[in-house]
Structure 1
Amino acid sequence: MAEKVAFLGLGVMGYPMAGHLAKAGHDVTVYNRTAEKAAKWTAEHGGRAAPTPGEAAKGARFVFACVGNDDDVRQVTTGAGGAFDAMDRGAIFVDHTTASAELARELDAAARERGLGFVDAPVSGGQAGAQNGALTVMAGGELASYAAVEPIIAAYARAVRRLGPAGAGQLTKMVNQICIAGLVEALSEGIQFAMKAGLDPEAVIDVISKGAAQSWQMENRYKTMIAGEFNHGFAVDWMRKDLAICLEEARANGAHLPVTALVDQFYGEVQTMDGGRWDTSSLIARLLK
């Protein structure tokens, strides 16, 4: 069933995600901090562009956001001209931003005060997943709000699951980033080892990817890692933002993340190599310099 929806934030993820909502037949109004991007989106997909988050959210049953960080989310929700004050009672806000679990709980409480639903729903799958409508979505929030929005999210997701109350989606995304950090560092070290040992690294990866060492990172990044090509994918700057959230949460809940902390430092080295916008697979660059 077609719904009236809004999408706030048209970056490398939000732009195609909003596009899939339009292709699914929903009535989409978009907002982006840079108005030119919103105009480009409407020229491509139809719908409308609004000058503020609140204007975009007015009358929408579902409001989605995918912006940069906690402060950006606050700006489009509870800030001046934000969505929360413009949304009708019973409407549901879905935050796809990778942000803190603390923020998710804060916004859930603010939404309840206004009679709104709230779902924190960070995504995994990168730009390619967003473009192909094949994202994995990790959600937290009240069951009723999640159940209402799940069929809408399906427009750009291959998997979506509720993990618990508000904040559970963000906590699950932290687990995702913790695992990726360790995997990419191990893959970088393995490829470097193969090179130093005089092996053909592509042949090595082709063999071991058929066994227990297989991972998404191995299958999708080994060729560009060997070639030293990193101008694609999820940026190091954003990964460091995410790992900072993970490490802060670990300090609060008592989890021990020694490997994650070390890999975060390694990403810092990549930034000093002017690699802040490189893909996260650029960890190998610091080993081969």
Structure 2
Amino acid sequence: MTTSVAFIGLGVMGYPMAGHLQKAGYDVCVYNRTFAKAQKWQEEYSGRTAETPAKAASGAEVVFVCVGNDDDVRSVVYGDTGVLAGMSAKAILVDHTTASAELARELGEAAGKQGVAFLDAPVSGGQAGADNGQLTVMVGGEASDLLQISAMLETYSRHVGLQGPVGSGQLAKMVNQICIAGVVQGLAEGLQFAKNAGLDQEKLVAAISKGSAGSWQMENRSKTMWEGEFDFGFAVDWMRKDLQIALREANKNGSRLPVTALIDQFYADVQENGGSRYDTSSLITRFMAK
């Protein structure tokens, strides 16, 4: 069993993911840009901390990265203090960041030049999924590399699926975000209609959630949307980042995403109204403000 791993990035997702690995018996060394967060993680889970990504990656058989965007990934992967500077040949680099497919291919090439395998592996399931070890992982890369780390991924996931070569995991995550955006907007419009029609939210959702209109968003977000509670979950800022990635990729591959582009602008409205850190279900606030 591979036992020595590094985890770079202890945000709302990375913090519990690294914790699941440590609790499962892996020897985890963490790095976070704010070192106090790494120290807090160590106090909670034991494990080790490092002052740079390179030091965290030194001696690790697998290095996981989970940061904010393409530039953040580059800042912890490249350079004298980046993870590649500390990784040995035959180690595996896994990027859980939701980033561009372009970046994934770039990282795959850079890692390959020094004998390091690479997997792009964005996740879905939000903070609750990370906390409860119930994430979905969409992977791009070689099946043989995924097989080596599948037990690790399963410590915080309920489904791990290989989507194709490097970059395919990120493309799959784009599809995921496109679909979520449409569902949340539809739910927001439906709940607005229900309120205006004088329907009872609990009775309504109890009925339609069991039919073809049912969704994770309806089961988990309809009540809080109805009550105007959004101070939790996956932030609007991050959703807009993800949708911009999808829209740029669509321009490259000739896909038409008119609804996604429109909902991206709806999220811009939420940002302008002070909801940048609200959960993505806050699309309904566009109706509440009127």
Taking structure 1 as the reference length, the TM-score comes to 0.99
> Residues 114-143 of structure 1: CA distance to partner in whole angstroms, max 9, x if unpaired?
100000000000000000011000000122
- Paired position in structure 2 for 1:105: 105
The CA distance in 1 between the partners of 2:42 and 2:100, in whole Å, is 31
User: Moved runs in structure 1, 4+ residues, more than 3 A?
Assistant: none
The CA distance in 2 between the partners of 1:106 and 1:151, in whole Å, is 26
State the one-letter code of the partner of 1:218. M
State the one-letter code of the partner of 1:198. G
| Residue 115 (str. 1) matches residue 141 (str. 2) | no
Taking structure 2 as the reference length, the TM-score comes to 0.98
State the one-letter code of the partner of 2:53. P
CA distance 1:165–1:179, shift in 2 (3 Å): same
- Paired position in structure 2 for 1:230: 230
State the one-letter code of the partner of 2:179. C
The CA distance in 2 between the partners of 1:115 and 1:144, in whole Å, is 15
Q: Is the 8 A contact 1:20 1:133 kept in 2?
A: yes
Query: 3-state SS of the aligned residue for 1:88?
Result: coil
**RMSD of aligned Cα (Å):** 0.8
The CA distance in 2 between the partners of 1:103 and 1:143, in whole Å, is 20
Report deviation, 1:86.
1.1
| Residue 201 (str. 1) matches residue 201 (str. 2) | yes
- Paired position in structure 1 for 2:220: 220
State the one-letter code of the partner of 2:83. A
Query: 3-state SS of the aligned residue for 1:99?
Result: coil
State the one-letter code of the partner of 1:184. V
Report deviation, 1:227.
0.2
Query: 3-state SS of the aligned residue for 1:217?
Result: helix
| Pairing of 1:60-209 with structure 2 (within 5 A) | 60-209=60-209
The CA distance in 2 between the partners of 1:24 and 1:269, in whole Å, is 43
State the one-letter code of the partner of 1:48. R
The CA distance in 2 between the partners of 1:24 and 1:201, in whole Å, is 41
Query: 3-state SS of the aligned residue for 1:163?
Result: strand
The CA distance in 2 between the partners of 1:47 and 1:22, in whole Å, is 7
State the one-letter code of the partner of 2:36. E
> Residues 75-133 of structure 1: CA distance to partner in whole angstroms, max 9, x if unpaired?
11113400012101000000000000000000000011010000000000000000001
- Paired position in structure 2 for 1:252: 252
The CA distance in 2 between the partners of 1:50 and 1:149, in whole Å, is 22
> Residues 173-196 of structure 1: CA distance to partner in whole angstroms, max 9, x if unpaired?
000000000000000000000111
Q: Is the 8 A contact 2:188 2:283 kept in 1?
A: yes
The CA distance in 2 between the partners of 1:197 and 1:27, in whole Å, is 56
**Unaligned 5+ runs, structure 1:** none
The percentage of counterpart residues that share the same residue type is: 63
Query: 3-state SS of the aligned residue for 1:15?
Result: helix
> Residues 8-59 of structure 1: CA distance to partner in whole angstroms, max 9, x if unpaired?
0000000000000000000000000000000011111111100000000000
Q: Is the 8 A contact 1:2 1:27 kept in 2?
A: no
